[in-house]
A and B are shown apart, each in its own frame.
Chain A
Amino acid sequence: MNIEELGKQIELAHGSGGKSTHRLIETAILPALKNSTLESLSDAAVINCEEKRLALTTDSFVVHPLLFPGGSIGKLAINGSVNDLAVSGAEPQAILLSLIVEAGLPMEIFLREIKAIADASSKAAVQVIGGDTKVVEHGKGDGMYITTTALGIVDPRINLSPRRIKPGDQIIVSGPIGDHGITILLARGEIDLEANLQSDSRPLWPLVKSMISVCPTAVKWMRDPTRGGVATVLNELSREIKMGIVLFEESIPLREEVRGACEILGLDPLHIACEGQFVAVVEKDLLSELLKELRKVPGGEGAVHIGEVREKPPGVVLAVSTYGGSRRVDMLIGDPLPRIC
């Protein structure tokens, strides 16, 4: 393990979901816990269990503020985990919930979050079947941290594997990106903009299910672009498959509010977190079928084709504009949006 490369201590950037996080996982965690399921670094682990394939995932949620337009930490904690299952092609079955609460948190807020958890799980059609609660000293816990662990059953018809990806495959996104990340920035008052924007936190399984029902094999890979945004998940993919990924700059779906906020701070929307979208690699021939189907599902109306996989340049994500040159889209570097989950 190379300490020099990691730095002397844990920095906030190690949790940004970008380059530093990637390095921390690859150089510190993976070598120590070596096994093939872990090393695939997918959103959920898939376990073969007699006839069925189980998907298991866990995620911790730290967000400030706890409540924001369109959601709160409780809702995020449920949707975040069930979405990691959904993009692994698994229907959520059960959730374990672990709460770390800071002493002094108003009971009102605690109850509000429990209700948010209950609402979100019933909406996602999944039950919280166990859990744990710890209280830490005042000043040591940012109000509340939540860890959820979710179990799902992989739909037998779907076959997700980066190994199936070939040059010519197409990339789609389920709707406008960056809503969550910018909502949080606004809620924190970091951008002084009047914007009617909400977090996009929502369960993705209905959308995924609709694709599986029409042409399950057409979908080869899926991720939910949370921390680090679309740029980071696609960079991870391009490095893994050693192919190029080209995004068509003009077709990336963005709300005006998100565009404006990014403009003010000079941010790339491709680096901004989503909590209710997926990015998928699909077969070219079935692209329009899939999009047509997705757009029929409530919440899938905004699904669009945003790019494609090419043989070259290997390991690089490019954004091209119609009459401009191409720019390299890197993983999120540093930590311009600290502690967004």
Chain B
Amino acid sequence: MIRSALLIVIAVCLLITCADAFGIQRFPPPDFETGHQLPGTTEPGARSEIFEYVDAAVLIIALSLASWLILKKRNRRWIFMLMLFSLGYFGFYREGCVCPIGAIGNFTLSVFDSDYAMPLGALIFFIAPLVFTLFFGRSFCGAVCPMGAIQDLVLVRPVKVPKGLEQALRLFAYLYLGLAVLFAATGSAFLICRYDPFVAMFRLSGSLNMLVIGACFLVVGVFIGRPYCRFVCPYGVILRQLSRLAKKRVTITPDDCIKCRLCEDSCPFGAIDEPEAPWPEEVYKQRKKTLALLIALLPVLVVLGGWVLGGMSDSTARMHASVRLAEQIYMEEAGLAQETTDPSSAFRGTGEQVADLYAEAVKIRGQFAVGGWFVGGFLGLIAGLKLIRLSVKPTREDYEADRAGCLACGRCFSYCPRDHVRIKELKAASG
């Protein structure tokens, strides 16, 4: 008993001396006879926080201006000018960061990780377009988003995308949003920022992969209007839903639709809904049955989605560096990996316990399993709701800008003869 106590004391003493030795410098700093003054380590400061608020103010002014131009002024040329300004300011001058799209990641992390605080400027960037969309529709997409602007510029030969294909491709944006939230919530990655296709162009430097992907988006964007906005943008799918509820909305005609069909092909984003008569009685009855079936199917899709993504937690969890490290360490311990990697040797250098790392990895995998169920369920719900929408017939008498899909670019205004009448009357009134 005494002996073991003695051993412990000796061990502790040894540990203390070791720790001491660790801190001791091999070569003590010299005492200069000439009185040489030691220079200090320089600490150049970061960009002042004030600029963050300047950016936020510019954003809010741009959003207000965009809403006014789109809803009141109805002038594509001015909208285009504002779009160019946004591309210049938020894109090339501010180098695409901070942006509301990437702020989804910050916001999610700030909700799930209490140690992380979102900068107020970034929070304003995240919230302001949401609020504006609830009031005025997607004026952010139309004239403020630099990523939308750069794609809008290259759109010279728009090709129509079949409605069904567009619906199907859009599911990718929901998947992207779901995964981005999952990875941000678990503290694994800011997916949206990592795979931002245009930020490398705004900065005129960046990884070659992202430059190439960005260039591909622009080449595709020559024919298919704003491919990132329509099929990828995770912020866009949030704005879509809020835009459905918007108090004011983009209208093709300033007053009454005369069903002249002139605007029919004016939208390069397929966001103009044509007038539709109600279904005939027998079709209506048949669709009613389909609808009942689809509504019954909805919970099945939700559970299926959750089961698939929740079950994939072993794979999705690899996005987290600690899980990857734990797997590598496990392979090394089991003799399955011949060579160590930089992270594994760095980990061994820290002297941390392998068991702790395993425990952490297991915990993170658990988070991915739970999060996977939620995100998968959400995706199942979206897919189910899409199917349900297809069997609900909207009845419309006029040509209308789609509440959700309209990007508020203002292209259709000049196609409407009623708008020409409006402008003439305005000119006459002003003399």
Binding partners A and B = no
* B interface, CB within 8 angstroms of A: none
* A interface, CB within 8 angstroms of B: none
